[in-house]
Structure 1
Amino acid sequence: MNTTATNSASQTAIRVQGITKSFKDLHVLRGVDFEVKAGSIFALLGSNGAGKTTLVRILSTLLKADAGTATVYGFDVATNAGDVRESISLTGQFAAVDEVLSGRENLVLIAKLRHLKNPGAIADELLARFSLTEAGSRKAATYSGGMRRRLDIAMSLIGNPPIIFLDEPTTGLDPQARIEVWQTIKKLAKDGTTVLLTTQYLDEAEQLADRIAILHKGTIIQNGTLSELKQLLPAAKVEYIEKQPSLEDVFLALVGDTGEIDSADGRTERAVSAGKESR
């Protein structure tokens, strides 16, 4: 691997400058610029059709830009596509697992395709890391949405890529599964992986991202931390209000950490406790 490229990526993992892309008369990207710091979570926030997936496809070398430059881990996506692919992993909007195979077999298969030693040991380590050990021998078809997505992300991490692209990672998931995936993404960054996350969910960007770039009609209209973006609006008017439990508070009080409904007594006790703490 090119040492110069690796050193340049020690601070900036992804750099995008003036990227444009059109499909005939449809101008999808109109000059996109941003940088992603190594080891951080960067959220690309935008509505459907804003160009998020197109940009991810360019950064992962699946699509060529019409103009502009982009480097990933110090490698130019246009001229060093092979090096870029060795440095990244891409998880699409829908889990790409083989439902006929067990969770463990899915992981072993990817490890073998990457020509890694001890694929069984790699699979077992990832099952433990993503809390899937007990389900490892079951077919992936029996997994819940959250488990399937965690398995998908685990498969993406085989080979320890320093950068991972997560394109709409919680699309179609129920609230409990979304929280599970959020916890997984936070742990990835904590362990040093750079995460570029695309999402259309405001709460997802707010919960996860170190920096948020808002992509609108093919351009980045704002880019900053959550606190910096909030400063774009007038200061909040301070008034006394009685805080009621949020829907998330109620949901977690009812289902607990396991995602299963507690007994009636436990349900009532937790709901009452959540209400007391929030007052």
Structure 2
Amino acid sequence: MIRTRGLTRHFRVKGETVEAVRGLDIDVQEGELVAFLGPNGAGKSTSLRMLTTLLPPTSGSATVAGCDVLADPAGTRRNIGYLGQGNGAGNHFRVRDEVVTQGRCYGLSRAESRKRADELLAVLDLESLAGRQAGTLSGGQRRRLDIAIGLVHRPRLLFLDEPSTGLDPHNRANLWKHILRLREEHGITIFMTTHYLDEADTMAERVMVIDHGRMIADDIPENLKANLAGDGVTVTTADEADAGRSAEIAGRMPSAREVTVDAMTMSLRAPRGNALLPDLLRSLDAAGVRVLTAEVRRPTLDDVFLALTGRSLREGEGDR
């Protein structure tokens, strides 16, 4: 559904060349839900703008929904839906009218547009708001309206650029309930960016991480967390001497890494911390180390990015 090779985008800023995207290779299969992550300034939004024909690449190739984004931008747009970070509906236009108008822009007849609008408003629980002005809706209602606008022409591929930013937890959960139901019913491929790492972790089947315009990771969330970050294992001992001895013993275990000591606490990372801990505790007991507490903490996607780059996904200055 998405295939890019060597995709780049350079900008000229104050006489200097800024390489926003550098040699991006992406493969997304039909029906996948893929999260595209990175800190602000990593090149996420620039990449999305190229894939949705809003910005021409400097070099490289991109095929989206079977269409070359440069040779056939109109064909690309006919096959995709796009939810940007802002609201798509005009504040002073009625909800149903906005969906109908979008359908007409895509070449649907007036009757087809009205029928499709009514279908989507029903599916997205917006039927009772059809006559309201878009500007009077709540944040969650407006985002559902944006989805209706993006899906009116039955696209094969839906781009979501931070779809739930600014919504409270209840509205976020409600929005995702509708997105996942539409995907299940219609087999839509979804390519999304988000700053809510729990969304990427629980919703996406695959996670791509971009930094400084380059792809630095691409795998299912569980593999990324296990292989790149690893579980955190923490052991609290009776005194500092025992903590030091526990670090020596842990350091000899093949899967243990990043072994550190802080006062009476020894910490490490391991791909499968729950499997390592029983062996570690047996070894510590055999060595006479007095263990007070032991804990295994599952990693997060932010831990993955810290392991890859040494900084948080939430860091950065202004997206490119």
Normalising by structure 1, we get a TM-score of 0.78
Partners of 1:87 and 1:108 lie apart in 2 by: 18
**Mind listing any 5+ residue stretches in structure 1 that lack a counterpart?**
1-12, 242-279
Partners of 2:131 and 2:164 lie apart in 1 by: 24
Q: 1:123 aligns with which of 112, 117, 121?
A: 117
Q: 1:31 aligns with which of 15, 23, 27?
A: 23
In structure 2, the partner of 1:170 is 164
1:184 aligns with 2:220: no
Amino acid at match of 2:10: S
Q: What do the CA deviations read for 1:114-173 (whole angstroms, capped 9, x no partner)?
A: 231312222111110101111222222221101100000111101101111111111222
In structure 2, the partner of 1:21 is 9
**Mind listing any 5+ residue stretches in structure 2 that lack a counterpart?**
231-269, 278-293, 296-320
1:104 aligns with 2:96: yes
1:236 Cα shift? 4.3
Partners of 1:63 and 1:55 lie apart in 2 by: 9
Q: What do the CA deviations read for 1:87-130 (whole angstroms, capped 9, x no partner)?
A: 11211001111121221121122122223131222211111010
Residue 273 of structure 2 aligns to a residue in which SS? coil
Give 1 or 2 for the bigger CA radius of gyration.
2
Q: Is the 8 A contact 2:140 2:171 kept in 1?
A: yes
Q: What do the CA deviations read for 1:157-202 (whole angstroms, capped 9, x no partner)?
A: 0110111111111122222121122222212321211111012221
Q: What do the CA deviations read for 1:46-80 (whole angstroms, capped 9, x no partner)?
A: 11111111001111111111121110112211112
Q: Is the 8 A contact 1:94 1:169 kept in 2?
A: no
Structure ranking higher in strand proportion: 2
Q: C-alpha root-mean-square deviation of aligned residues, in Å?
A: 1.8
In structure 2, the partner of 1:262 is none
Report the number of matched residues: 230
1:217 Cα shift? 1.0
Partners of 1:86 and 1:69 lie apart in 2 by: 19
Partners of 2:39 and 2:196 lie apart in 1 by: 9
Q: Is the 8 A contact 1:94 1:171 kept in 2?
A: no
Q: What do the CA deviations read for 1:17-70 (whole angstroms, capped 9, x no partner)?
A: 111111122111111112111011111011111111100111111111112111
